[in-house]
Amino acid sequence: MSNLVPTGKPWALAVFAVIVVGAALTALALLGGRSLPERTGPPVEQLAVERAVLEPGVIELRVRNTGADPVSIGQIFVNDGYVDFTGAREPIARLGSETMRLTYPWQDGQPYTVSMLTSTGLVIEHTIDAAVTTPRATASFYGLMALLGTYVGIIPVVLGMLFLPFMRAAGGRVVRVLLAVTVGLLAFLAWEGTAEGFDLAGESGGAFGGAALVVLGAGLAFLALTAVDQWLRAKRATMTSGAPADSGLRLALMIAIGIGLHNLGEGLAIGSAYAIGELALGAFLVIGFTIQNTTEGLAVVSPLTDKRPPIPTLLGLGLIAGVPAIAGAVIGATVRNAELSAFLLGVGVGAILQVIVQIAPGLREKTTGRMDTATLTGIGAGVLVMYATGLLVTA
């Protein structure tokens, strides 16, 4: 029996194990189902509406089968009135999707309930809270999303970075407190992103994992940024050839990347809200986001209080932290996919958590290895500042 197991290199053992596991799974797939009794009871029919596009006289729905059995749509009603529709004439297989166009003279600003009657008599409903024409992806539309992303992401971050001279003059003890405030800011952003991600995952129907997408995105982002950080450390050590490494600039870069990924998710939420008419564009929205995201600029430059980086470097950090808001606004307004949004929000959460892990060791006193009262107060102050400024945002 021992002669059947290959010996030698580890990769050969791994290949042998994969072959055995593959053969076992194939046998179970072919033979296992035949040995089990057939399922009793009615089919499990589930549909999730991934996207609703409203045009004059037309409601377009993109649906996905999130259940175990195929779904056949027989009739569709809007506010209890029968409507003609095209598409989805064949049964929708598991995880399959179809686009249906409903002919209906909807009125701007009115709520509508779309009821889909399946072949088994099950009614699946989708609610449109307030009907509004879906914006088309024109040049002016992309320009508006870029402008909105600039207001929300780039300008506030750069304004916050202008406080660097003051922070530099405040002294070394203040730096640790500022880093503590940064941790509080980032912790609040992580919690905010997690809550938004889980909310979106709940709307997705769970076809591709639901809330697990947020966790997956966070885990992948955390591991990816950890790898990037290790690469930067190794590169910096090679370039300095034994000289002290510029850890402050590296940490500032990692904070900018983490905040940038968070702003990507923030832009997604703004773009999606604009596309369905739930975003009140105006001065108050801009001012609210500017005040809130200015604190993100403070977080980016907090590790640079003992450095004098050139202006292009500071601008680069600001763009890294702010530009993703533009990309997020465009994606959110055009794609409007709950699964993608939940995953990207999770990416932002994972990036922020990785940055917190890097900052945390610098918050402890070198003599005692503990955080003093001022540091703990700074963390709490950071959370409260983000909460208070978040109340100004009406999006």
Overall average pLDDT of the 217-222 stretch = 88
Look at residue 105 in the predicted model and tell me its pLDDT. 93
Q: Model-level pTM greater than 0.85?
A: no
Q: How confident is the model at residue 317 (pLDDT cuts 50, 70, 90)?
A: very high
Look at residue 171 in the predicted model and tell me its pLDDT. 63
Asked whether the beta carbons of 153 and 310 are under 8 A apart, the reply is no
Look at residue 58 in the predicted model and tell me its pLDDT. 93
Look at residue 229 in the predicted model and tell me its pLDDT. 78
Q: Which of 125-139, 158-172, 181-195, 272-286 has the lowest mean pLDDT?
A: 272-286
Q: How confident is the model at residue 241 (pLDDT cuts 50, 70, 90)?
A: low
Overall average pLDDT of the 240-255 stretch = 69
198 contact partners, CB below 8 Å, separation of at least 6: 211, 214, 342
Look at residue 64 in the predicted model and tell me its pLDDT. 87
Look at residue 194 in the predicted model and tell me its pLDDT. 87
Average pLDDT over all residues of the chain: 80
Dist. CA 87–CA 101, nearest whole Å:
7
Asked whether the beta carbons of 164 and 363 are under 8 A apart, the reply is no
**Residues 290, 295, 298, 300: what is their CA dihedral angle, to the nearest 10 degrees?**
-90
Question: What string of DSSP letters covers 18-32?
Answer: HHHHHHHHHHIIIII
Query: 3-state DSSP call for residue 75?
Result: strand
Specify which residues 97 forms β-bridges with. 64
- At residue 6, does pLDDT exceed 60? no
Dist. CA 350–CA 62, nearest whole Å:
30
Query: pLDDT higher for 141 or 32?
Result: 141
- At residue 91, does pLDDT exceed 80? yes
Q: How confident is the model at residue 4 (pLDDT cuts 50, 70, 90)?
A: low
Overall average pLDDT of the 117-143 stretch = 85
CA angle (370 as vertex; 366, 371 as ends), nearest 5: 105
Look at residue 172 in the predicted model and tell me its pLDDT. 61
How does 73-99 read in b/e, with b if 16+ C-beta sit within 10 Å? beebbbeeeebebeebeeebeeeebbe
pLDDT tens string 16-39 = 888 989 888 888 777 766 666 666
